[in-house]
Structure 1
Amino acid sequence: MNIDFATLAGLFFGVTIVTVAIMSGSPLNIFLNLPGFMIVMGGTIAATMIKFPITGVFVSLPLGLKAAFSNDKTKASDYIRLTIKLVKKARKSGLPALEKESVPNAFYKKGIQLCADGKDGEFIRKVLVEEIQQEIRREEVGANVFRAIGDSAPAFGMFGTLVGLIQMLSNMTDPSTIGPAMAVAMLTTLYGVLLSQLIAYPISEKLTMKIDRQTALSELILECIVQIQQLQNPTALKDILEPYLPGNQRKIEEER
């Protein structure tokens, strides 16, 4: 796994632009309000914990963050080349000979192990399809948690603003305090919007995109494993597996 610099750059750029824009017109400290921050964060976390099981929050959150900030550089075309190599070896030495092969992907490795154990193609396909579906369900929890955070944060920001307004309106003996009190009340809305639009929603969308990409890759690997089990002719593998490749990688394959 490698660092996803697009996520890092986007987050850094967003925080930097917001900070510079704030500091260009006024000191940064007037945008800091601990009670308002606690209302937004505490309320959002509480609402998220109500929506999901405890493991869905405290397990999926770190896993989701890790997935959002990491990137698998292995190309789909690399698995086709690996499959051609393994098919040639299996046709020469038998499927059990593949058991000791070093495979970079755990899902691919499981498929190779099933082939080496002598399982038939139908059984392998059934097991690996179920594995794909379970993995999608696990990863979708992380995306849904961040989406729930994005949904809740602005609402609790508005809630904090209403609390601040009620407190302000209940004590209007000194008109000079109305302006500063109003500004403090509005800060919670700002915190909620930033948490939602700069962090939670973008990470949720990034995770959804990665789930789609990983699912497509897993489907390719599934077909690779089935072809290995069938000891498919290596020269036919490219035509069978190429439809699973993105367009740019197909071009690369043709140029090789």
Structure 2
Amino acid sequence: MKKFDVLTPIGLVVGVVMLIFGIVTNGGITGFFSFIDPASLLIVLGGVIAGLLINFPVKDMKHIFTVIKQGFSQNEQNLDQLIKTFVTLSERARREGLLALEVEIEKVKDPFIRKGVLLAVDGIEPDMINDIMSAEITAMEERHRKGRNILEKAGEYAPAWGMIGTLIGLVLMLKNLNDPSSLGPNMAVALLTTLYGTLFANLVCLPLASKLALKTDQEVFLKQIIIEGVIGVQAGQNPKLLEEKLSAFLSSKERQKAAELITSGEALNDEA
């Protein structure tokens, strides 16, 4: 289940607020407005967008907003409930056979779990189940990598375009040294483009890319537990042994919570 990740907007807001606070503290409100320059912003954003359009195919760029949206959501990884699910499936399989899991699996919302259990019910060999599900994990990682790569490239291009804007401003300033009134605006373009480029890279693009990489690692970890659980259910492992095996992935606090959940006998349909 996905829910809104409040830390991402909080981080962005804190970064912007601290920046504004630092400017206003030293330069007042008028000082803040001197840091707003549309020309500098256009150079950075326009350059980054142009670079991305050259670098990536249309099919990848079409998903850029979906990729960004992922940085504002998170998956609830209820590992103790996941272990409870596989213990329940194991008990049912040992009691009534693997075919009985076709009914039981309807209570499970996670499609990856359902796919693995149905492969087990169909009598697919454990090694083949592992290969099929691992291939799906690899494909997922590749999809995530492509989306994340757009943000990483934007983080690389933004400071470079900031420096390009700085060079533009310096050239304009040097060409108009005989016009004192033009020195200020040209110097603003020269400095603010570097500021905008660095800020865009280090407050938005690179942190979001790092968060997406962390989310991918967490999802891979969860799916690896699922593979172990599916193979354990198919092999007819003792539910208690399967619980101990899967609990190796948990911290001591999570293990205690999982044990309490299994003892309470809660339903399947709230798994991670």
Task: Give the conservation status (yes or no) of the 8 Å contact 1:157–1:190.
Answer: yes
In structure 2, distance between residues paired with 1:210 and 1:224: 21
Among 241, 255, 263, the alignment partner of 1:250 is: 255
Unaligned runs of 5+ in 2: 262-272
1:77 aligns with 2:80: yes
CA RMSD of aligned residues (A): 1.9
Task: Give the conservation status (yes or no) of the 8 Å contact 1:86–1:228.
Answer: yes
In structure 1, distance between residues paired with 2:182 and 2:95: 85
Secondary structure of the equivalent of 1:71? strand
Secondary structure of the equivalent of 1:232? coil
In structure 2, distance between residues paired with 1:231 and 1:95: 9
In structure 2, distance between residues paired with 1:81 and 1:255: 10
1:116 aligns with 2:109: no
Among 32, 36, 57, the alignment partner of 1:32 is: 36
Question: Superposed, which structure 2 residues align to 1:60-139 within 5 Å?
Answer: 61-100=64-103, 101-139=106-144
Residue type matched to 2:55 in 1? K
Aligned residues: 255
Task: Give the conservation status (yes or no) of the 8 Å contact 2:176–2:182.
Answer: no
After TM superposition, give the deviation of residue 201 of structure 1 in Å.
Answer: 0.8
1:55 aligns with 2:56: no
Question: Superposed, which structure 2 residues align to 1:1-256 within 5 Å?
Answer: 1-24=2-25, 25=27, 26-27=29-30, 28-59=32-63, 61-100=64-103, 101-253=106-258
Task: Give the conservation status (yes or no) of the 8 Å contact 1:56–1:141.
Answer: yes
Secondary structure of the equivalent of 1:65? helix
Q: CA deviation digits over 1:19-38, x for unaligned, max 9?
A: 23333424343222222212
Task: Give the conservation status (yes or no) of the 8 Å contact 1:40–1:153.
Answer: yes
In structure 1, distance between residues paired with 2:124 and 2:210: 38
In structure 2, distance between residues paired with 1:112 and 1:188: 55
In structure 1, distance between residues paired with 2:137 and 2:178: 64
Secondary structure of the equivalent of 2:134? helix
Secondary structure of the equivalent of 1:31? coil
Task: Give the conservation status (yes or no) of the 8 Å contact 2:177–2:183.
Answer: yes
After TM superposition, give the deviation of residue 239 of structure 1 in Å.
Answer: 1.9
> Which stretch of structure 1 is more off in the superposition, 146-155 or 161-170?
161-170
Percent same amino acid among aligned pairs? 36
> Which stretch of structure 1 is more off in the superposition, 69-78 or 202-211?
69-78
Residue type matched to 1:178 in 2? L
In structure 2, distance between residues paired with 1:74 and 1:216: 10
After TM superposition, give the deviation of residue 223 of structure 1 in Å.
Answer: 0.6
Q: CA deviation digits over 1:191-214, x for unaligned, max 9?
A: 101100100111111111111111
Residue type matched to 1:118 in 2? G
Task: Give the conservation status (yes or no) of the 8 Å contact 1:120–1:229.
Answer: no
Task: Give the conservation status (yes or no) of the 8 Å contact 1:96–1:115.
Answer: no
Secondary structure of the equivalent of 2:248? helix
Task: Give every structure 1 segment of 4 or more consecutive aligned residues whose post-TM-superposition deviation is greater than 6 Å.
Answer: none
Task: Give the conservation status (yes or no) of the 8 Å contact 2:6–2:72.
Answer: yes
